[in-house]
């Protein structure tokens, strides 16, 4: 990170940013072409979990290249100024890298889905066999991430 004074190193603060996030952007490489998709997610260190259809571009890319990046952000305020070049923002962000795998084991899928649902609800859920069969669950092992606060 170029601006070390903006870096957040306290792990509790980093995890607080993730717990407050509503969307995670997952970045993939499709034969050298970038592909970014916003997703609902779950976080259970050192893993992120995502879900989606059991077929599609995202899964095709991951089958060929398991390396991913991810990003969370929270915009808190826009700082306006008379000069356009002096506008700014107060925000927090996290950028990281990891390796993904598509979960096949039913218990692992249920664990991942429960983790995702815990990000958005305090309820517990049941997952039927048909839903599990039609749902892909992706687990990303976080290899590294950095957090930043600006403003």
Please say if the pLDDT value at position 150 is more than 70. Answer: yes
Predicted confidence (pLDDT) per residue in 131-147, tens digit: 999 999 999 999 999 99
The pLDDT, as a whole number, for residue 1 is: 65
Predicted confidence (pLDDT) per residue in 58-96, tens digit: 999 999 999 999 999 998 888 888 888 888 888 999 999
Q: Who's near 18: CB < 8 A, 6+ residues apart?
A: 43, 72, 94
Predicted confidence (pLDDT) per residue in 94-113, tens digit: 999 999 999 999 999 999 99
Question: By the 8 A CB rule, do 39 and 50 touch?
Answer: yes
The pLDDT, as a whole number, for residue 99 is: 98
Backbone phi and psi for residue 13, each to the nearest 5 degrees, phi listed first:
-65, -40
The least confident of 15-29, 42-56, 72-86, 90-104 is 72-86
Give the C-alpha separation, 118 to 138, whole Å: 16
The pLDDT, as a whole number, for residue 28 is: 98
Identify which of 150, 142, 107 has the alpha carbon closest to the alpha carbon of residue 18. Answer: 142
């Amino acid at each position: 990170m170029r601006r070390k004074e903006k870096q957040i190193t306290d792990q509790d603060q980093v995890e607080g940013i993730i717990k407050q996030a509503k969307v995670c952007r997952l970045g993939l490489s499709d034969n050298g072409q970038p592909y970014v998709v916003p997703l609902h997610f779950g976080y259970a260190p050192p893993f992120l979990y995502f879900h989606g259809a059991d077929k599609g571009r995202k899964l095709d890319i991951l089958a060929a290249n398991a390396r991913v990046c991810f990003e969370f952000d929270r915009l808190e305020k826009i700082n306006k100024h008379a000069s356009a070049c002096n506008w700014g923002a107060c925000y927090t962000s996290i950028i990281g890298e990891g390796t993904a795998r598509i979960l096949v084991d039913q218990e692992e899928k249920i664990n991942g889905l429960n983790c995702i649902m815990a990000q958005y609800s305090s309820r517990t859920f049941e997952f039927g066999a048909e839903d599990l069969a039609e749902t892909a669950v992706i687990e990303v092992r976080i290899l590294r991430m950095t957090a930043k606060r600006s403003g």
